Chain A
Amino acid sequence: MVSQDFTRPVASVRLFGWFRQNLFSSPFQALFTLGVLYLLYFVVRAVVQWSFIDANWSGNSREDCTQAGACWVFIKVRFEQFIYGFYPEAERWRVNTAFLLCILASLLLFVRSFPRKIWLGAFLLFVYPVLGYILLVGGAFGLPVVETQIWGGLMLTLVIAGIGIVGSLPIGIVLALGRRSTMPVIRAICVAFIELVRGVPLITILFMASVMLPMFLPEGINFDKLLRALIGVTLFAGAYMAEVVRGGLQAIPRGQYEAAASLGLGYWKIVGLVILPQALRIVIPGIVNTFIALFKDTTLVLIIGLFDLLGMIRAATTDPKWLGFDLEGYAFAGLVFWIFCFGMSRFSIALEKKLGPEDQRGWAR
């Protein structure tokens, strides 16, 4: 007989019950679980052994690395170079100031009670770039000029990624709107641009920007290598961004356009006030996904002779004094990249939560 018990069964021994149900429900399952645990044990043990227990931490040359594990001395000695490239030591405070300022202002944006966020946003978007330029490049207020040629390391990675991120979103939005435009010429231009740029590897674009472009430009006109890389990266990410944003635009029902239009709002107001706020919120995961890809793609600037973090590390491992420490170098690079990308991913989740309280109450129907 079927029992008429409607109470929810309570897991009396929660943890034990969970293990039994999910990991040891049959002899085969149990065997499999034990096998995986055994493998995991070996891998984790080897990694911990290499990177912590047997690692070398102190000293300042390769002779100090006597133990079998990782030689972190290499990272320690080269650390400053990995961060700043060949930026002159005396001027490095400028880099620190620029980044601290950016982090501080961005964090303040997230403080709920902070007044006048619009001004803060305007500062970040319009004043900060100028300030950052003056700090990093110099040439004003008595700051000596630091050529972009000698920039490098994590600092260069962050500059390229940061400008790429800030630049690609508006470009992507404009391209996405253009692709949905009713005007055939605008649509054709946007489609052509997106498909052309998306169909070509970033390396090709960077290479074109740095080698081919100067050939077409008249003699004497030669702009900065970093600037060319920045334009290349930004346009490349912009084309991807356009498709992400278009996905969001397509998710907005036609009724939203009609309702806004019937209230007498013009195209740009409809887009800016009604459509984009909804569309962008939908595609936050896709946008951040593109940002993360862009962050990692910055490593490709090595191809045109710019030394980002990975480029710096690679250069350091070819130094005769430190030959054979590739593993440490790449492990360090991996860790730094992971920290930044994971940070962006968490940021994306926080942003979704912050912007989406209505979301859980079923706002897009």
Chain B
Amino acid sequence: MVDVHKWFGDFHVLKGINLTVHKSERIVICGPSGSGKSTMIRCINRLEEHQRGRIIVDGIELTNDLKHIDQIRREVGIVFQQFNLFPHLTVIENLILAPVWSRRMRRDEAEQIAMKYLERVRIPEQAHKYPGQLSGGQQQRVAIARSLCMSPKIMLFDEPTSALDPEMIKEVLDVMISLAEEGMTMMVVTHEMGFARTVADRMMFMDGGEIIEESVPSEFFNNPKSERTKLFLSQILSQ
């Protein structure tokens, strides 16, 4: 990402974001609400359009070219705060939808892969249930598996545990940690600082549409440079 700017009407959400993510790198982004964290990662797969600057994903630049956008979206997985599973399809149908229709995979082959990932997120027994019958934690794990079925090169997580009851947060974080251990490239927006400490290669603090601070976790937590970061950390860690 080079000098990315975005406006919502008159509101300047992103004020010149510069960022390079390397393969297998795990980046955790935190910051107060309204700081532009979600918007930034949503720009990476073009759920939001940036108005200035360049975003290049895996060698392809994001422009208005629809072909490129779909191509990038197939390589970039995203997990939402609200899960956004398709309620009219069963779990397994949710998982094979995109491989079959977007990657033109054969149905039985897609189902095999889907079952493999359901086992990865430890809920293969729920394959033929509907999302509405699952708990929030299970739904979010299905959502992760759904993204994995497209074998993405990078996974984006937009506050994946914020809509969950406390007792379900751990099962989702465990899945994410195991993903990280296998070398998946990840960008995670989260307030789970424990998770950030264990997993992150790089921490990033955003406020007011800018990246305020960027460092390795040990540095970030023990010796933050900016005052705003210090304030934010003291607030979030005191909870």
Contacts and interface: CB of A to CB of B under 8 A. Distances in A.
B87 A363 contact: yes
Contact of B84 (A258, A269, A273, A281): A258
Contacts of B45: 262
B82 A361 contact: no
Q: Which of A253, A258, A262, A364 has the most CB of B within 10 A?
A: A262
Interface in A249-271: 253, 255-256, 258-266, 269
Contacts of B78: 262
**Secondary structure dominating the interface of A:** helix
Contact of A263 (B66, B88, B146): B146
Interface string B81-101: 010111110000000011001
Contact of B87 (A260, A264, A266, A358): A358
Contact of A363 (B66, B84, B97, B130): B130
B84 A255 contact: yes
A277 interface: yes
Interface string B118-132: 000000000000111
A363 B83 CA distance: 13
Nearest to A260: B86
A259 B102 CA distance: 13
Contact of A262 (B47, B103, B130): B47
A264 B132 contact: no
Given A258-B80, A363-B131, A365-B132, A264 B88 contact: no
B133 A264 contact: no
A345 interface: no
Contact of A258 (B47, B71, B131): B47
A277 B90 CA distance: 13
A259 B132 contact: no
Interface string B47-69: 10000000000000000001000
A282 to B, nearest CB: 10
Q: Which of A253, A266, A277 has the most CB of B within 10 A?
A: A266
Contacts of A281: 88
Contacts of A363: 87-88, 130-132
A358 B146 CA distance: 20
Interface residues of B, number: 30
Contacts of B76: 262
B97 A273 contact: yes
Contacts of A264: 70-71, 73-74, 98, 102-103, 150
A35 B78 CA distance: 67
Contacts of B74: 263-264
B38 to A, nearest CB: 12
Given A361-B133, A363-B87, A363-B131, A261 B47 contact: yes
A113 B74 CA distance: 37
Interface in A218-258: 253, 255-256, 258
A5 B87 CA distance: 42
A278 B84 CA distance: 13
Contacts, number: 75
A324 to B, nearest CB: 57
Contacts of B85: 259
Nearest to B93: A273
A362 interface: yes
A274 interface: yes
B150 A263 contact: yes
Contacts of A263: 73-74, 97-98, 102, 146-147, 150
B101 A259 contact: no
B74 to A, nearest CB: 4
A361 B97 contact: no
A273 B147 CA distance: 17
Interface string B153-183: 0000000000000000000000000000000
A267 to B, nearest CB: 9
Contacts of B103: 264
B62 to A, nearest CB: 13
Contacts of A261: 47, 73
A258 B47 CA distance: 7
Interface of B: 45, 47, 66, 70-71, 73-74, 76-78, 80, 82, 84-88, 97-98, 101-103, 130-133, 143, 146-147, 150
23 contacts: A255-B82, A256-B84, A258-B80, A259-B84, A261-B47, A263-B73, A263-B74, A263-B150, A264-B73, A264-B74, A264-B102, A264-B103, A264-B150, A265-B97, A265-B102, A266-B70, A278-B86, A278-B87, A358-B132, A361-B133, A362-B132, A363-B132, A365-B132
Given A262-B73, A274-B86, A274-B97, 15 more contacts: A256-B84, A259-B84, A259-B85, A259-B143, A262-B47, A263-B73, A263-B98, A264-B70, A265-B97, A266-B70, A273-B101, A277-B88, A358-B87, A361-B132, A362-B132
